[in-house]
Structure 1
Amino acid sequence: MLISRYERMIARRYLLPGRSEAFIAVVAGFSLVAVMLGVAALIVVMSVMNGFRAELFDKITGLNGHAVVQGYGGQLRNWRDIVAQAKATPGVTSATPLIEQPLFASLGGRVEFAQVRGMRVEDIRNNPTLKGKEVLGSLARLQPGQEQVAIGSRLAEKLGATIGSKITIINPAGSSTPFGTMFRTVSYTVTAIFEVGVYDFDQIFVIMPIEDAQTLLLLGDAVSMVEIDTVDPDRVQQIIAPLNDKVQGVGQITDWRQMNRELFEALAVDRIVSFTILSIILVVASFNIVSSLIMLVRSKTRDIAVLRTMGATRGGLMRIFVTVGTTIGGLGVAAGTVLGFLFITFRAQVVQLIGLVTGQQIWDPSMRFLTELPAKTDPFETIGICVMALLFAFLATLYPAWKAASTDPVQVLRYE
């Protein structure tokens, strides 16, 4: 929108009204603050939602892959052939044999549920979700046949375990005796304690070399599943489609969407609802802009009439008031963007501060899955939020600007 020099001058004067019009300035200030808070809230919430989904996706697929081939009866005897066929499939980046079984872990009279996972030593060391996540000890110390394990940090807290502790893994499917089935118990030395950042994983996982897991579960040379990673997780179904016929009768393929459908669908719905509700703040801010401009038009009626008699056009007056309103909105958008990024940058400190003030734990890992508040800002989404806020501010100026342009100078100045 092109605006002339004198129109810019008048718009600047109207943005900074005099002392007699201080109330209008206060209302305009509230409008700016409302836009700022709305933009900041949208940027923060959408970034947190994006970060939450991205972190969950990375952690879940990092440990469970983009898809898994699960054997019927929990066993894959020909897993080497399946691994070879998977690696030969275009689009598949890796195929990893796994053993996973829910069992129990015990130490010093404490018994906790544990998800025992057996992996090849090289896969444990190179897994991106586990690599570098040791709290104590080192995953590199795990060796087959040495009865060594790595456990999650939350499980270690529950058991009271540390490096060098001897924990007992209890397998209910033990050997049969005349007196019934005897539980199979094996003691392992804790050589590493890790924290991947997902509460549910950190409180149950016990990782050991795959050979030791086969011995513990009496599987022989079998594994439970083969984990598959692809170049594009969003196209995982199309990429692994050629494997369906090859594993038919032996096992079934399940991708990450099927394994976590309810969780990611709930996140998508929550994201849409949060965006819709927080957008109402921008609508309210737009009404504030309308109110402040209507008050400004009413207080400047005589000035508008004088400008009309001096040759100002209706279009020029509309541009003046549209400029005033969009400037308020633009300043609010700029301030809201800065505030939003400051909140995202220092989100951990903000959460701690709120917790200290309220006396409540704002971010409970047991309820939120992740141990820390995540955030991932999408530049295009941020630009979209700013454009939407500016559009609302622009639309809010149209009616007051039209009212100003419709002022009849004859009626206003008749008795002057």
Structure 2
Amino acid sequence: MFARHEWMIAWRYLRARRSEGGISVMTWISLVGIALAVFALIATLAVRSGFRYEFVDTIIGANPHVEVLNYGELLPNGQPTRTIAGFEAATDRIAALPGVTRAAPVVEGQVMAAAQGRNTGVQVVGIRTEDLARIPRIAEPEEAQGSLDAFEDGVALGSGVARNLGVGVGDTVRLISPDGVRTAFGTSPRVKAYPITFIFQVGRFDIDSTRVYMPFAEAQTYFNREGVADAIQVSVDDPEAVDAFAAALIEAGGEGTYLWTWQNASGAFLRALQMEDNIMFVILSILVLIATLNITSGLVMLVKNKGRDIGILRTMGLTEGTILRVFFICGASIGVVGTAIGVVLGCLFAIYIDPIFNVVNALAGGGVWDPQVRYISALPARLEAGDVLTAVALSLGLSFVVTIFPARRAARMNPVEALRYE
């Protein structure tokens, strides 16, 4: 498509000094601008992908993909019990469904935890030991103390709960439930102490600071759920397509069954994250466009300075198409080289984000990242081929488009007018 002499002339113009009518300074400005814009775009896309991946991973890694619930039986006052009486048979039916990887009955409740003169509200989940060991973020947490092997002898706490109460493995925590012991004079609060056998950190603040796991049989007794379960937690092989399992799960759950998926629980977070992603992409795309416009200004100056050369080349027999390709090569080369540099810098940033962020945090005196606000314990970055290709396509596409206009202007220059005053 491009002849050898066209490449030679374009390269000669790109490396020419200003005294020779070249645009070396403008070339460097354009190249640096495009490189920085592509770097910023790739870095932002990597952090965006890392945020979504980490956010979803902590949700589905420590929570079920879908909870199978039941309205239960109606009480004399007309209120449903919202418990599952035949939970064992329902769990077996659900576990046998294609695509289901885990099904576990649970008992859930909100109580007050107290220790060392401190107290905090927690969410207690009663679960069997073998089912707890199959929850990814609990079986392989970011940090852990104690062992799941001793779970039947006590309770497992999130790291935030343990920190708020000032306790560790081997200490005792008191759980206080307002819906406790039923007596002839009414219901009195239930207070019971449990040893702490395991402390986990899944990396999401709202889970680490509220979650407490209790053995299933003990939770049934503590929450007055003898013989029943509150829900059946289900994990599937494709969490993003959890809605496709809805009909089968409802049928296996039995009459009165309804579902609550991880997307229902965290849909607002995901929608807000997607909206922010789209806005940031548009803003950074404008930044890339502004950077590529430097190519236009540089080529306009080059065409003006090389008017005599264009006239001589045309009189020697070069066609308009040849002149257009020469100046197109000049502009496109800047875009390609700048894009390549930006891709390298962006990829390196995504790969080495942890040490880079540690340096930034140290220079800022610490406290730059607050997991209580962002729900994730560290700044994530996930380099994906699709994001890199998107950045490259955007940068090269804009570079090629903005180069066409000054190149056409050079090609349409009248050689007689170009040499009139020479």
* Short-chain TM bin: over 0.9
Q: Is the Cα contact below 8 Å between 2:68 and 2:249 reproduced in 1?
A: no
Q: Partner residue of 1:369?
A: 375
* CA offsets 1:156-200 (integer angstroms, 9 cap, x no match): 111111111111111111124577642111111111211111111
**Aligned residue among 134, 148, 151 for 1:139:** 148
CA distance in structure 2 between the partners assigned to 1:277 and 1:215 by the alignment: 56
Q: CA deviation at 1:393?
A: 0.2
CA distance in structure 1 between the partners assigned to 2:21 and 2:341 by the alignment: 22
Counting aligned pairs with the same residue, the percent is 37
Q: How does 1:213-232 map to 2 (within 5 A)?
A: 213-232=219-238
Q: Is the Cα contact below 8 Å between 1:351 and 1:362 reproduced in 2?
A: no
Q: CA deviation at 1:249?
A: 4.3
Q: CA deviation at 1:23?
A: 8.4
**Aligned residue among 295, 320, 325 for 1:289:** 295
Q: Is the Cα contact below 8 Å between 1:83 and 1:226 reproduced in 2?
A: yes
**Residue 59 in structure 1 maps to residue 58 in structure 2:** yes
Q: CA deviation at 1:59?
A: 1.7
Secondary structure of the equivalent of 1:182?
strand
TM-score (norm 1): 0.94
Secondary structure of the equivalent of 2:418?
helix
Quick check: 158-167 or 173-182, which moved more? 173-182
**Residue 68 in structure 1 maps to residue 67 in structure 2:** yes
* CA offsets 1:24-81 (integer angstroms, 9 cap, x no match): 3222222112211221122121122222112221221223222111233342211112
**Residue 412 in structure 1 maps to residue 391 in structure 2:** no
CA distance in structure 2 between the partners assigned to 1:46 and 1:335 by the alignment: 17
Q: Partner residue of 2:120?
A: 112
Q: CA deviation at 1:22?
A: 8.7
Q: How does 1:9-158 map to 2 (within 5 A)?
A: 9-20=8-19, 24-72=23-71, 73-133=81-141, 134-143=143-152, 146=153, 148-158=154-164
Q: CA deviation at 1:139?
A: 1.7
TM-score (norm 2): 0.93
Q: Is the Cα contact below 8 Å between 1:351 and 1:363 reproduced in 2?
A: no
**Residue 200 in structure 1 maps to residue 206 in structure 2:** yes
* CA offsets 1:95-147 (integer angstroms, 9 cap, x no match): 1112222211110110011111121111122321111324221222212xx2x
**Residue 3 in structure 1 maps to residue 2 in structure 2:** yes
* CA offsets 1:315-335 (integer angstroms, 9 cap, x no match): 111111111111111111111
Secondary structure of the equivalent of 2:23?
helix
Q: Is the Cα contact below 8 Å between 2:62 and 2:202 reproduced in 1?
A: no
Q: 1:178 to 1:91 in 2, by over 3 A?
A: closer
CA distance in structure 1 between the partners assigned to 2:369 and 2:20 by the alignment: 45
Secondary structure of the equivalent of 1:130?
helix
> What runs of 5+ residues in structure 2 fail to find an aligned partner?
72-80
Secondary structure of the equivalent of 2:226?
coil
Q: Is the Cα contact below 8 Å between 1:83 and 1:97 reproduced in 2?
A: yes
Q: How does 1:168-247 map to 2 (within 5 A)?
A: 168-176=174-182, 181-247=187-253
Amino acid at match of 1:141: A
Q: CA deviation at 1:245?
A: 4.0
Q: 1:88 to 1:338 in 2, by over 3 A?
A: same
Q: Is the Cα contact below 8 Å between 1:89 and 1:240 reproduced in 2?
A: no
Q: CA deviation at 1:246?
A: 4.7
CA distance in structure 2 between the partners assigned to 1:74 and 1:353 by the alignment: 52
CA distance in structure 2 between the partners assigned to 1:361 and 1:31 by the alignment: 36
CA distance in structure 2 between the partners assigned to 1:21 and 1:394 by the alignment: 26
Amino acid at match of 2:68: V
Quick check: 394-403 or 8-17, which moved more? 8-17
**Aligned residue among 323, 330, 335 for 2:329:** 323
Q: 1:267 to 1:294 in 2, by over 3 A?
A: same
Q: CA deviation at 1:214?
A: 1.4
Secondary structure of the equivalent of 2:330?
helix
Q: CA deviation at 1:348?
A: 2.0
Q: Partner residue of 2:75?
A: none
* CA offsets 1:251-304 (integer angstroms, 9 cap, x no match): 321222222211111111111111111111111012111111111111111111
Q: CA deviation at 1:360?
A: 6.0
CA distance in structure 2 between the partners assigned to 1:66 and 1:316 by the alignment: 61
* CA offsets 1:350-394 (integer angstroms, 9 cap, x no match): 223323334463321111111011222221231122011101000
Amino acid at match of 1:157: R
Q: 1:379 to 1:265 in 2, by over 3 A?
A: same
The count of residues paired between Structure 1 and Structure 2 equals 412
Secondary structure of the equivalent of 1:260?
helix
CA distance in structure 1 between the partners assigned to 2:266 and 2:53 by the alignment: 13
